[in-house]
C-alpha cells in the first residue's frame, strides 16, 4: 500500500500534469484524487476539453495618411478574424466556448500596423467536438489573412486539455462519505446542465481512474474574481477545505478495504474511456 501526494503546478498555463504523465509520474497508480473550490458541492462537474491558440498576422508598415495603399494592414486582419468568430457563434453548439484577446494591435495610429497578435481559448465538451471547433476557428483566422493580404501564423498551445472522464463508482462512494460529514451536494440535473472550466486533470483521467470533486468554501463569489481570492484565503474556507479532504481520505480507504470496489472503479474507467476514444477515432 502506498499513498502518493503529488505536487502538480502549472495547471492554468502549460499543463504540468501532462508533463508528469509523460514523465511516468502516474504509472502504477490505481486511482487519483483532486478537489477544486467552487460555489457548490459536486462529486463531478463536466470540465471540458480546451485548446489554446496564438495567431500572428504579418503585414507591411506604411504611413497611414501619406500612402496607406503601400501598406498591408495586420490590424485589419486581426479585426476581421475577431469579427469572423463573432459571426461563427451563430453556428456554434451551445456547449462550445471561444474567447480571446488582441494582444498586439500596432504601434501608432499614423503607421499601418505590420504585426498583430491574438490569443484565444477554444473549449468543447469532448475531444471530438473540440477538433471540429478548432477547424472552424482556424478557417476564420486564415480567411482574414487572405482578405487583407497578410501572412498568418497559427500556433496551438503546447498541450491540449482533455475533458474530465467521470467515474460513477468513485463519485458514489465520495458522495456517501461527504454526506456523513454534512456536505450537501447539488442535484444530478444541475450537474448535467452545467459546464465548468478546463483542467489538465482531464488528461490524467484518460490514463488513471480519477475523482475531481468541487467544493463550496463558504462564499457565493465567482471563481477568478477578487472576491473569490479573498474568500479562498479566509479562515472560514479552511473548514470546507478540510472537510473535503476528509471525504477524499475516507473514499481512499474504501477503495483500499472494500472488497470489489477497486475493480468496479477500473471497469467504469475502461467503459468510459472506450466510449470516449471511440468518438475520437471511430472504427
For residue range 29-83, what is the model confidence (pLDDT) as tens digits?
A: 999 999 999 999 999 999 999 999 999 999 999 999 999 999 999 999 999 999 9
Residue range of the domain that includes 144: 49-156
Beta carbons within 10 angstroms of residue 27's beta carbon: 9
Are residues 119 and 212 located together in one domain of the fold? no
| Phi, psi of 174, rounded to the nearest 5 degrees | -60, -45
**For range 253-275, the mean pLDDT:** 95
**Residue 174 in contact with residue 248, Cβ under 8 Å?**
yes
Q: How many domains does the chain have?
A: 2
pLDDT given for residue 282 in this prediction: 44
Nine cell digits for residue 14: 502549460
Higher pLDDT, 107 or 193: 107
**Would you say the pTM of this structure is higher than 0.85?**
yes
- Could you give the CA distance from residue 229 to residue 73 in angstroms, rounded to a whole number? 41
Are residues 26 and 80 located together in one domain of the fold? no
pLDDT given for residue 283 in this prediction: 36
Among 99, 131, 156, the domain boundary falls at 156
3-state SS class at 103:
strand
Q: Burial code of 108-127, b = ≥16 C-beta within 10 A, e = fewer?
A: eeeebbbbbbbebbbbbbbb
Residue 221 lies in a domain: yes
pLDDT given for residue 194 in this prediction: 64
Beta carbons within 10 angstroms of residue 156's beta carbon: 13
Q: Which of 118, 113, 164, 159 is nearest to 137 (CA)?
A: 118
pLDDT given for residue 12 in this prediction: 76
Residue 20 lies in a domain: yes
Instruction: Write the pLDDT tens digit of every residue in 92-147.
Output: 999 999 999 999 999 999 999 999 999 999 999 999 999 999 999 999 999 999 99
Are residues 129 and 197 located together in one domain of the fold? no
Amino acid at each position: 500500500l502506498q499513498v502518493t501526494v503529488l505536487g502538480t503546478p502549472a495547471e492554468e498555463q502549460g499543463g504540468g500534469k501532462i508533463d508528469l504523465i509523460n514523465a511516468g509520474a502516474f504509472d502504477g497508480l490505481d486511482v487519483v484524487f483532486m478537489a477544486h473550490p467552487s460555489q457548490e458541492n459536486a462529486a463531478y462537474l463536466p470540465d471540458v476539453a480546451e485548446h489554446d491558440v496564438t495567431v500572428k498576422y504579418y503585414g507591411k508598415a506604411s504611413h497611414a495618411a501619406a500612402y496607406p495603399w503601400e501598406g498591408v494592414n495586420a490590424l485589419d486582419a486581426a479585426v476581421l478574424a475577431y469579427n469572423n468568430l463573432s459571426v461563427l457563434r451563430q453556428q456554434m453548439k451551445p456547449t462550445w466556448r471561444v474567447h480571446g484577446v488582441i494582444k498586439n494591435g500596432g504601434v501608432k495610429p499614423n503607421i499601418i500596423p505590420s504585426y498583430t497578435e491574438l490569443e484565444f481559448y477554444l473549449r468543447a465538451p469532448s475531444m471530438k467536438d473540440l477538433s471540429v471547433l478548432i477547424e472552424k476557428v482556424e478557417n476564420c483566422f486564415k480567411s482574414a489573412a487572405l482578405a487583407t493580404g497578410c501572412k498568418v501564423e497559427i500556433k496551438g498551445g503546447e498541450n491540449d486539455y482533455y475533458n474530465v472522464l467521470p467515474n460513477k463508482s468513485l463519485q458514489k462512494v465520495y458522495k456517501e462519505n461527504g454526506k456523513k460529514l454534512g456536505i450537501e451536494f447539488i442535484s444530478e440535473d444541475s450537474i448535467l446542465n452545467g459546464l465548468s472550466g478546463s483542467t489538465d486533470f482531464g488528461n490524467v483521467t484518460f490514463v488513471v481512474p480519477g475523482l475531481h470533486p468541487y467544493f463550496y468554501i463558504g462564499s457565493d463569489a465567482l471563481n477568478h474574481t477578487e472576491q473569490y481570492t479573498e474568500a479562498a484565503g479566509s479562515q472560514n474556507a479552511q473548514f470546507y477545505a478540510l472537510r473535503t479532504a476528509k471525504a477524499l481520505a475516507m473514499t481512499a480507504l474504501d477503495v483500499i478495504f472494500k472488497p470489489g470496489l477497486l475493480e468496479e472503479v477500473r471497469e467504469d474507467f475502461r467503459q468510459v474511456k472506450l466510449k470516449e476514444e471511440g468518438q475520437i477515432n471511430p472504427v
